[in-house]
Structure 1
């Protein structure tokens, strides 16, 4: 398909990723979108009449021609959402970008992908945690994703480089620049085993509003997001909230109650928005990972099912009908008092039959 038409989709005024993909679905492919008569655009799900009036395909195609010349000249890869190289985990998110600009050598669909985020004002404690975490994640063969920002982000990337482990930085601006500029040497080294990603075309400045949008890519392309150290406000908590909205696992390292940059982690754990993490083995157990040739041993549910009580069997039967169920919904479906349900859920979790998820939800292990 035409690179220019793929790029042009992102330059149509007031058309975001969701509408752009709806237009492609309606037209059949990205080229046909630009052949649709304005009178037919009203049939595209979700598009408003006012938006249709403002659509200027000609301007979008002209801007796309300029961008196509730029990415070709500077060896920037463009990964459209229908491309098999596009991160499949991110593609499952409704608001995923239509395309990604990429530089480097990366496999975005490797078996294990983990996002590591945290405060820009990382303490020595946070940096030490980050280094230990990344070293352990490397032993499981995980790709580490972060945002190349000061603090925890750059600590994660640096440790990956030290270990020759793959790492990807997601940026909130075009690939014609780097922010912060102080991380240029790190970014250059990342190109050999990982690289840089952005949804933004050349000329896009690192404006404040771009970074929350950037965070959805960090959250969406990973199996889980780990918050190493964070204050009560900032991008790390935004990323965690987005990951929760995508029904992805979120973990956080706990900290002392009076530490400013542990306050965000403690908040996530306290409000069941993140699982408590002490090391990568906790995460590996939850995600069912194997390390080397050693499998994470799980209980044989068929052999142990005879030991379950009637209430526990009922809970298992209902949980088996969905990928995950919140405790409130479970209470309604089973008709069991929440105090009794909580006790049974705890028993099942302790036996390894089920696992708890952020947001007071549960699923079969």
Structure 2
């Protein structure tokens, strides 16, 4: 998009009463933004949603001055622009009826990788949520997914941090313009995030992190990703709004269960109870439900997970991986271990999360 087209696109955004839905109708009808402003009144009236008040707002000349100022900010700060008509617009977001007309971004964002998930949750993350998030992202790392979140306190920033620790691309979708960072205490993460990932927003540089902007931001987080993961949430919270939006967009939603007495597990437990989210206990749950080339990728995940296995544990794991569910006595026989030893080894492997016990003294590899 050249500067003239971008100028008119920004001007269209400043026409009072023209939101994303009407703007996309206009572009679809007239083919270009400049053609929208050149259209006759009778042509504009034919568009559903455009009445006399809106037609009058098209005559407001101040929209062009505002567009000029924003264009100057974009040019001087190396801001990238993508519209819903562009090939590099997030593909899944493009299919959401209320998706943003324009996205502004900074950093080195690449959306070619289709494995893209959002991780959201409470701003008051507990040690339980922290440990789960760390392990979950580490387990997913061999699959190289893009981790999307909102760069807020708590689960958001933790997800970004663990993504960076595992050399994964991570995108912070913010509720304000790219001329600022909110919260300010997170400025220390900006440079590293922009090295492999970055920030995305629909808001102009004149927009502040107002309360209503966060709700609008959440639809981008939910809409651009294949699945939304809620790690911890109280009974009410922004992450539940994101989960509900993801459901409306027909995206997969996962929630980490917790004790019924824990305040920041109540939201997750309710999502699961009301069948608005799948239970998430490990990365393998997500891989299976999303059908991420299971046979190839699970092995890749397991390779990283099992680095800590000793020779005896590895021998048992390899056997279970090949044979499937097996009795304790048979495992001991096939792997050539005495019964008194096999029980202890299996317990250690269970604690490491690489096998699970089943009824009837059966065990299987995870």
Comparing 229-238 and 131-140, the one that deviates more: 131-140
Alignment partner, residue 181 of structure 1: 184
State yes or no: 1:3 paired with 2:38. no
Matched residue, 2:34: 31
1:154 to 157, 166, 181: 157
Match of 1:46 in 2: 49
Say if 1:140 and 1:290, in contact at 8 Å, map to a contact too: no
**How far, CA to CA, are the matches of 2:136 and 2:192 in structure 1?**
21
Residue matched to 1:63: 66
What is the SS of the residue equivalent to 2:172? Answer: strand
Match of 1:226 in 2: 229
Q: Tell me which residue corresponds to 1:102.
A: 105
When residues 43 and 141 of structure 1 are mapped into structure 2, their CA distance, relative to the original with a 3 A threshold, is same
Q: Write out per-residue CA displacement over residues 248-277 of structure 1, whole angstroms, 9 at most, x where no aligned residue.
A: 000000000011000000010000110111
CA distance in 2, matches of 1:295, 1:278: 15
Once the 2 structures are TM-superposed, how far is the Cα of residue 295 of structure 1 from its aligned partner? 6.9
**Could you tell me how far 1:136 is from its partner in structure 2?**
1.9
Deviations 1:21-55 (A, max 9, x none): 00111111122111123343111123233322333
Is 1:193 aligned to 2:193, yes or no? no
Pair 1:205–1:156, CA change in 2 (3 A): same
**TM-score, reference length from structure 2:** 0.78
Could you list the runs of 5+ residues in structure 2 that have no partner in the other structure?
300-366
Are the aligned partners of 2:143 and 2:297 in contact in 1 as well (CA < 8 Å)? no
Query: Normalising by structure 1, what TM-score?
Result: 0.78
- Of residues 105, 117, 139, the one that matches 1:114 is 117
Counterpart Cα distance in 2 of 1:276 and 1:183: 31
Structure 1, unmatched stretches of 5+, are 297-365
Q: Whose radius of gyration is greater, 1 or 2?
A: 2
Distance in 2, matches of 1:109 and 1:43, equals 38
Q: Which has the higher helix share?
A: 2
Distance 1:93 1:268 in 2: 22
SS of residue in 2 equivalent to 1:267: helix
In structure 2, the partner of 1:22 is 25
Measured after TM superposition, the shift of residue 230 of structure 1 is 0.5
1:255 aligns with 2:258: yes
CA distance in 2 between counterparts of 1:20 and 1:36 reads 14
CA distance in 1, matches of 2:251, 2:175: 22
The partner residue of 2:293 within 290, 302, 307 is 290
**Alpha-carbon spacing, 1:196–1:33, altered in 2? closer, same or farther (3 Å):** same
Aligned residues: 296
Choose the corresponding residue for 1:242, options 242, 245, 256: 245
Q: 1:234 to 1:294 in 2, by over 3 A?
A: closer
SS in structure 1 at match of 2:14: coil
Larger deviation, residues 3-12 vs 236-245: 3-12
With 149-158 and 47-56 compared, the bigger mean Cα shift is at: 47-56
SS in 1 for 2:287: helix
Q: Counterparts of 2:243 and 2:298 in 1: how far apart (Å)?
A: 28
